[in-house]
Amino acid sequence: MSLTRLGRLSQKSSVLFLCDMQEKFRPNITFFPQIVSVASRLLQAGKILDIPVIVTEQYPKGLGPTVPELGADGIKKYSKTCFTMLIPEVEKELQSFPERRSVILCGIETQACITSTTLDLIEKGFDVHVVADACSSRSQVDRLFALSRLKQSGAFLTTSEGVILQLLQDASHPKFKQVQKLIIEPAADSGLLSFF
């Protein structure tokens, strides 16, 4: 069985996608502060492990900028109006690191931009790891059924801590202690247990 079919993550083959965590969504997205907190933890780990990061903003003129607590200052933000993150500019950036075929995806909304992005990436041959505790929607019903659909479509559903530990692969990793500080405390509860 190929590694692609297993969905194994590695530091050298992964890229982190952060989707549309913007100011105007704050009051409407269920568990918004928790989703941003978990995504921020992934971003911090990504920075430590030198994993490329792609950030999009959905119509920022109307929906505002990326929220500051995400910690994405200094990272280019790609503006879009379509529901996929895979706009031409992002595709061009992905081509600059062709060895990275696994996308770690988090953000909002699960049934819209997360779904469209996942399907587009899978169609182009990428492994997509949807971080369930770092994705949400206005409606938890939409979130639940979108996650289910994405799993049926071939995405790997995972958690932020699962992603971070897979990227490290070993406690002897030279940056383990630095990253371990991010996961000593459990991730913020983003309501996933209500699905089971």
Write the CATH number for 172: 3.40.50.850
The total number of structural domains that make up the chain: 1
Tokens of 140: 């938890």
User: What pLDDT score does 5 carry?
Assistant: 73
Does 167 reside within a domain?
yes
Describe the chain by its helix, strand, coil percentages, rounded to 5. 45, 20, 35
User: What pLDDT score does 195 carry?
Assistant: 63
User: Which of 77, 121, 128 shows the shortest CA–CA distance to 102?
Assistant: 128
Residue showing tokens 């399907």: 119
Residue 192 pLDDT class (50, 70, 90 cuts)? confident
Helix (H, G, I), strand (E, B) or coil at 106: strand
Does 53 reside within a domain?
yes
Total residue length of the chain: 196
Per-residue 3-state assignment (H helix, E strand, C coil) for 141-195: HHHHHHHHHHHHCCCEEECHHHHHHHHHCCCCCCCHHHHHHHHCCCCCCCCHHHH
Does 128 reside within a domain?
yes
- At 104-134, the pLDDT tens digits run 999 999 999 999 999 999 999 999 999 999 9
User: What pLDDT score does 190 carry?
Assistant: 87
Is pLDDT at 174 greater than 50 in this prediction?
A: yes
Residue 186 pLDDT class (50, 70, 90 cuts)? confident
Phi then psi for residue 73, to 5 deg, are -60, 140
Does 51 reside within a domain?
yes
Tokens of 109: 């909304």
Does 6 reside within a domain?
no
Q: State how far the Cα of 44 lies from the Cα of 35, in Å rounded to an integer.
A: 14
User: Which of 159, 161, 167, 101 shows the shortest CA–CA distance to 135?
Assistant: 159
Does 193 reside within a domain?
no
- At 135-150, the pLDDT tens digits run 999 999 999 999 999 9
Domain span at residue 74 reads 11-184
Does 192 reside within a domain?
no
Tokens of 53: 């990061």
Does 129 reside within a domain?
yes
What is the DSSP code (8-state) at residue 169? -
Known catalytic residues are: 20, 80, 113
